[in-house]
Amino acid sequence: MNIPLTGPFKGTICAAALVAAGAMPALAQDYRMDIQTAVPNASLYFKLTEQFASDVEEMSGGRITVKVLPDGAEVSAFEILDAVSDGVVTAGYAWPHYWSGMSSSFVLFSNVPASTGMDQETLMSWYYSGEGQELYRELMQDRMGYDVEPFLMQPMGPDPLGWFSRPFENLDEFQSIKYRSPPGIAGETYSAMGVPAVALPGGEIVPAAQRGTIDAAEWIGPADDRNLGLDKIWDYYYLQGLHQQTDIGELLVNKTWFDELPDDLQAIIRVAVKANATMTNAANLHENSVAVKEYEEAGINVLDVPEEYYTRFIEAQNEVIKEYIDGDEFFAKVYQSQVDFADLVYPYHGRMTTLKSNVVQGAEAARNE
Report pLDDT digits (tens) over 62-95: 999 999 999 999 999 999 999 999 999 999 999 9
Sheet of 248-254: strands edge to edge? Answer: 64-69, 31-37, 91-94, 248-254, 148-155
Q: 203-217 pLDDT, tens per residue?
A: 789 999 999 999 999
Contact assessment for residue 267 and residue 201, using Cβ atoms and an 8 Å cutoff: no
Q: Is residue 224 in some structural domain? A: no
Which residue from 112, 244, 138, 267 is spatially nearest to 190, judged by alpha carbons? 244
Q: How far is CA 64 from CA 61, 67, 122, in A?
A: 8, 10, 32
The answer to whether residue 356 is domain-embedded is: no
Strand duo 216-217 + 179-180: pairing: parallel
**For residues 112 and 336, what is the distance between their CA atoms, to the nearest angstrom?**
12
pLDDT at residue number 27: 52
Can you tell me whether residue 29 is helix, strand or coil? Answer: coil
Q: Is 348 helix (H, G, I), strand (E, B) or coil?
A: helix
At 180 the three-state DSSP class reads strand
Q: Pairing state of beta strands 31-37 and 91-94?
A: parallel
Rounded distance between C-alpha atoms, residue 180 and residue 217, angstroms: 4
226 pLDDT more than 60: yes
Examine residue 298 and state whether it is found in any structural domain, yes or no. Answer: no
Contact 72, 203 (CB under 8 A): yes
Domain presence at residue 350:
no
How far apart are alpha carbons 246 and 156 in whole angstroms?
Answer: 7
Tens digit of pLDDT for each residue in 156-173? 989 999 999 999 999 999
280 part of a folded domain: yes
Cα 63 to chain center, whole Å? 26
13 falls within a domain: no
Kindly state the average pLDDT of the residues 235-250.
Answer: 92
CB under 8 Å to 204, separation ≥6 — which residues? none
Instruction: List 201's β-bridge partners, or say none.
Output: none
The pTM score is 0.84
Confidence at 3, pLDDT banded by 50, 70, 90? very low
> Which CATH number does the domain housing residue 151 bear?
3.40.190.170
Do the beta carbons of residue 178 and residue 198 sit within 8 Å?
A: yes
Distance CA 17, CA 25 (A): 11
Question: Which residues span the domain enclosing 269?
Answer: 31-156+246-286
H or E element: which one contains 39? none
Separate counts of helices (H) and strands (E) for the chain: 13, 11
Between CA 359 and CA 356 the distance in angstroms is 5
Q: Does residue 151 surpass a pLDDT of 90?
A: yes
Half-sphere exposure of 51 (CA within 13 A, CB side): 18
Q: Are 296 and 143 in contact (CB under 8 A)?
A: no
Helix axes 185-192, 307-327, angle to 10 degrees: 120
Q: How confident is the model at residue 22 (pLDDT cuts 50, 70, 90)?
A: very low
Q: Give the count of domains, the chain.
A: 1
Instruction: Give the whole-number percent of the chain exceeding pLDDT 70.
Output: 92
What average pLDDT does range 242-269 have in this prediction? 96
Query: Is 154 within 8 Å of 248 (Cβ atoms)?
Result: yes
What is the SS3 assignment for 142?
A: helix
Say how many C-beta atoms besides its own lie within 10 A of residue 323's C-beta. Answer: 12
Residue 15, pLDDT score: 40
Does 84 map to a domain?
Answer: yes
Report the pLDDT averaged over residues 293-298.
94
Determine the 3-state secondary structure of 25 from DSSP.
Answer: coil
- Whether the per-residue pLDDT at 1 is higher than 80: the answer is no
Whether 133 and 242 have beta carbons less than 8 Å apart is answered as no
What percent of the chain shows pLDDT beyond 90? 74
Residue 2 burial by Cβ neighbours in a 10 Å radius (0-12, 13-18, 19+):
exposed
Query: Would the CA dihedral through 297, 299, 300, 304 be positive or negative?
Result: positive
The three-point CA angle 79-80-82 to 5° equals: 70
- The string of pLDDT tens digits covering residues 322-348 is 999 999 999 999 999 999 999 999 998
Secondary structure of residue 50 in the 3-state scheme: helix
